[in-house]
Amino acid sequence: MSRQIAGYARRPRPEALTRLIAVISKEEADRLDSWGIAAEMPSRTAAIRFLLRKGLEAVGTTAADRVYET
């Protein structure tokens, strides 16, 4: 069970999501939370999704643009 971060509101989770685990430094997590709370994001996950979408837009890609082969 995930812990609630002070400042974020707990919301119901949408269905059909893919879980992604990323390891980041405490400094990065603190910066993410400071930004997310100030930007009135409803959760840490919402803040990550927002920044991920913005980053992908900035590099000129969308989810359907690239397929990575292993």
pLDDT tens digits, 15-46: 677 788 999 999 999 999 999 999 999 999 99
**Higher pLDDT among residues 28 and 62, named by residue:** 28
User: How far apart, in Å, do the first and last CA atoms of the chain sit?
Assistant: 31
The verdict on residue 11 lying in a domain is: no
Please tell me the predicted confidence (pLDDT) of residue 38.
96
**Counted domains in the chain:** 1
Give the percent of the chain with pLDDT over 70.
67
The verdict on residue 54 lying in a domain is: yes
Distance CA 18, CA 39 (A): 24
Read off φ and ψ for residue 59, nearest 5 degrees.
-95, 5
Range 2-13 average pLDDT? 65
Question: Domain limits at 35?
Answer: 26-58
Helix (H) or strand (E) holding 35, with range, is: helix 26-38
Distance CA 17, CA 46 (A): 13
